[in-house]
A and B are shown apart, each in its own frame.
Chain A
Amino acid sequence: MTENEQPLVKEQKEETIRKESTIDKSAIEESAKKGSKKIGVYLCRCGGNIADAVDLQAVADNLKEDKNVIVNIQDYLCSSVGQDKIKNDIEKGKVDRVVIGSCSPKLHLETFRGMAKNAGLNPRLLEITNIREQASWVHDKEDKTGVTSKVLGLIKGAAARMGSIEPLSPLAKTLVDRTLVIGGGIAGITTALELSDSHDVILIEKKPYLGGHMIGLSKTFPTLDCSQCILTPRMVAVHNNPRISMLTQTQVADVQGSPGDYSITLKHSPRYVDIGKCINCGACARKCPTGAIFLPFAQAVPQAYMIDMSKCSNCGACVKICPRDAINLEEKEETSAIAVGAVAIATGFEPIDPTFIEEYNYPSPNILTAIEFEEMLSAKSKTGMRLQKADGTFPNRVAFVLCAGSRDFTGKGRKHCSKVCCIYSQKQAQLVKKMKEDSQAWIFYIDMRSGGRRFEEFYHHTQEKGVNYVRGKVAEILPKSDGTLMVQYEDTNLGRKGREIFDMVILCPALIPSTGTKEIADKLGVSIGDDGFIEEKHVKLDPVNTLNQSVFAAGCVLGPKDIHDSVTEGISAAHKVSQFLGKGMILIPPEKPVILECNGCGDCVKACPYNALALEGGKALLSPLACTGCGICVPACPIKGIEIRNFTRDQVKAQLQGILSEAPGVIVFIDPYAYAAADIAGVNRKQYSSLVRLVSIPSVHILDADVVNAAFEYGATGVMLIEGITDEKLTSRSDDLYKKLKKDTRKHKKPIRYSHIETAQYEKLTDLLNVFASQAGAKAQKMSRKEEISDKEDPVS
């Protein structure tokens, strides 16, 4: 090998980056040949979760035929007994590479790799084959033979690829010690304040003031303390905190960079009043002829006036009168760029618009949402904190209608329970009774849910106050000509229909993620559930982490909850952010492209969507930290000079050969985002054909015709690419990739498909897999029939 053949990985200037060792083709080949590898295959019964659907003993017996492989079956591999077995085998030198057949790597890969590291084995030399979420749980209604053969193939494939896996170490990158908190409600405020002890925080809020929904609440359950009284000190603390930069009327416009090192563009809407200069004297508002300049509400933080341009006549009176020159009517929308290492999403909820519930006749005079009811009695009140009907009088009879748009599985409303309505409606009913003792408050509920400390007592107390409870979902609300409202329902406890007249009806609407949650999630590379809320890393064990290690979430963006729980999550998220930033650096996966040969054509540089490749001295050079490992450069290279380490063409092909060695099947290349969807399908036991063999790859863009043709040659009846990443830089090129692959693999006359599946769309995924598996099967049958015929014809001719 000559000097200039030596491929280079461009070194970053940051000292903390571990210098990537330069690699060359021969090193990879050598690694593949080196010595006789002793591969240990460990299969987990997972109680009966796997063993009931798969004949693990048959799998083991078959694998043992290869004398380089030792096989072991355990009841629970993740238990200390199971882990110790593997650890002992490694330490005694019985195995030097490990393939585990168990649950999803998303659950326990870290566990097992930690164990391998302790035993002195490079963690990369341990891999998990998912035989639970993607086999036993999704084919348990099928015949055991088919599933067993699939599992055997998957393990053989994993072992074949494992034979040439390189013992890579992760790369390290310095973290930017600054956090962006998105959302200035109670969850965001708490996260920011808790973090500010030891880290710099940028807190952004879409509205012109802090406080989120909480500042629009009256009293808070179950203690009935006033919302603004407990919140205002926190808002002021944010404003005065030197480590928190508070930016209102600000949204995220764009996210660049990678975890731990983001460059984020913020978009600032104009306020027309300089927050720093305004002293809140109100001279402008007194002069304004149209009432366009105003203070959002008395306690608003920041304490500064703002202009509603739809009302402004542009007369300039305010500009002249302002003693501080704080007003600028020419202000435009601006952008700014910030560098942060972590992001906490606390964008909260919004109420669903109940207009779609036709039988409730919202909006009508005196039919309000509970949020509107709260605001009437809060700091943001426009009625002087008086509860009043449209005609200004007090409503003597008030009905509360729970589950307006919640618990609805028809697709019109939302499936989830909004959790807080049972308790807040009782609080609101108490307030009505408190304001006027002889008034009537009725609560129409389906199930009264008052789980949680002090809540059942609160329910009991509300009953004592004389609030009337009716178990039954309201059927109709009809506005009458005299301004009253007729409510029709069934009292399900009695089985009798009823009608009542009320002065005011409060709808308790489903609480849904605030507008723009999906856009923010997409920009930050985190997924949302089919309910639209942010997905946690683990529902129970990692409740404020997301699958992106540098992005966290708190409050109602994770699902409806009360103030107490939002604060708890804010504190938790701050702790998790602090823990993350405290490490000072972030490890990033070493599965990056390696440039083995380069003719200096620059095609890869043009292909790279992240500017991670550059031509230097006529050769392509990689900046590993800018690289996301998408692999789009691999098929771009005209001389096949680029490979993704540990996902080289040869490695993937070896895996495919193993997978298809037992029986033909459908090869489904799947990226990590869509892989999560397949796991959710598994957890939900959504059945699909056991002919489907999922092959996890970093991105579908690493594929070229070479690999796909190999799959067909090894016996795949069809090939499918499933992409889950939402990054448009990649997805915008997927169609071209698919068309090219289709064209270049045409000679096999076997079906190939591409599909985009987001994490929440697991049902769509299983439907696609089933349809494709049967199509591919039918096509294969047709082809073999043709072959039979031509075989028969051949001797004749």
Chain B
Amino acid sequence: MKKEPIIPESRDPAFIEQVIKTPVGEKIPTCMQCGICAGSCPVSQEMDYSPRELVRMVQLGLKKEVLSSSTIWICTTCFSCSVRCPRGIHPTELMETLKPIAIAEGIKNRNVKFDNVFSDVIKTNGRASEFLLISKYSLTEPGMIKQLPFGLSMMVKGKLPLSIQRMENTRELEAIFNLGEKSREKK
């Protein structure tokens, strides 16, 4: 990974302001980079930046890197970091705060796409379906074709059921989604 030097142009003060104003942002400036979040995180090795590095980048206002990072999408919301942080910063909640900002900023990468497909599946069926999820996601992400043999072998072993479950009344769910959309527009 090429590391760009941090110069004044890399920093976006408005972004710092935007994040710090959110309910979880207030304590971000007090991070002392102890790393207990990253040390506790079960998936930090899969992220391009660890939670500690993400907080540091928010402190600096490195908007582009923060919003296009895989970190905010890979977080499993296990809350270990939030529970253990000695400064009372809540990295988990920070990830959740950054996701809609990334979407609103038009960040498009496979993590965003996956998130969109996932919520679509939920919206229409009210239940998660691995088969639908994978097939829809594969349509948007051509690279997934390589995973086909793996998927087939899973299917043979019954690990990828084809049946799609639906909840009885998806209208109620749709109403919830719509409310969410509305409240986001208001912001």
Q: A residues bordering B, Cβ < 8 Å?
A: 359, 403, 407-411, 413, 446-447, 471-476, 488-492, 495-497
Contact = CB atoms under 8 A, between A and B. Distances in A.
Nearest to A359: B84
B86 interface: yes
A413 to B, nearest CB: 7
B30 to A, nearest CB: 7
A435 to B, nearest CB: 29
Contacts of A403: 34, 86
B35 A408 contact: no
Interface size class of B (residues with CB under 8 A): 20 to 34
Contacts of A407: 32, 34, 86
Nearest to A499: B39
A492 B34 contact: yes
B50 A473 contact: no
Given A413-B86, A473-B39, 17 more contacts: A359-B84, A403-B86, A407-B34, A407-B86, A408-B86, A409-B87, A409-B88, A474-B39, A488-B39, A488-B40, A490-B35, A490-B39, A492-B52, A495-B49, A495-B52, A497-B38, A497-B44
Given A446-B32, A472-B34, A476-B39, A490 B85 contact: no
Nearest to B27: A409
Interface in B30-59: 30, 32-41, 44-45, 49-50, 52-53
Contacts of A359: 40, 84
A425 to B, nearest CB: 16
Contacts of A472: 34-36, 38-39
A359 B84 CA distance: 8
Contact of B33 (A474, A475, A492): A492
B17 to A, nearest CB: 19
Nearest to A410: B88
B24 to A, nearest CB: 14
A186 B85 CA distance: 36
Interface string B87-131: 110000000000000000000000000000000000000000000
Nearest to B41: A497
Nearest to A447: B32
A492 B31 CA distance: 13
A359 B40 CA distance: 9
Nearest to B49: A495
Nearest to A487: B39
Contacts of B86: 403, 407-410, 413, 473
A474 B33 CA distance: 12
Which one of A446, A474, A489, A497 has the greatest number of beta carbons of chain B within 10 Å? A497
B87 A473 contact: no
Contacts of B87: 408-410
B35 A489 contact: yes
Given A473-B39, A475-B39, A495 B84 contact: no
Contact of A490 (B52, B80, B88): B52
Contacts of B40: 359, 475-476, 488
Contacts of B39: 472-476, 488-490, 497
6 contacts: A409-B86, A410-B85, A410-B88, A472-B38, A475-B38, A497-B41
A476 B83 CA distance: 13
A490 B86 CA distance: 15
Contacts of B38: 472, 475, 490, 492, 495, 497
A646 B39 CA distance: 63
Given A359-B84, A410-B86, A497 B45 contact: yes
Nearest to A498: B39
Contacts of A496: 45
A492 B45 CA distance: 13
A391 to B, nearest CB: 28
Nearest to B42: A497
B88 A492 contact: no
Contacts of A490: 35-39, 44, 50, 52
A491 B52 CA distance: 11
Contacts of A474: 36, 39
A472 B34 CA distance: 5
Nearest to A357: B84
Given A408-B86, A410-B86, A497-B44, A475 B32 contact: no
Nearest to B30: A409
B36 A495 contact: no
A492 B30 contact: no
Closest 10 pairs (CB-CB, A-B): A475-B39, A473-B34, A490-B35, A490-B38, A492-B35, A490-B39, A472-B35, A475-B40, A408-B86, A473-B36
A488 B84 CA distance: 13
A529 to B, nearest CB: 20
Contacts of B41: 497
B151 to A, nearest CB: 30
B134 to A, nearest CB: 29
A622 B52 CA distance: 67
B138 to A, nearest CB: 31
A360 to B, nearest CB: 10
B59 to A, nearest CB: 14
A350 to B, nearest CB: 21
Contacts of B52: 490, 492, 495
Contacts of A446: 32-34
Contacts of A409: 27, 30, 86-88
A80 to B, nearest CB: 41
A475 B36 contact: yes
Contacts of B49: 495
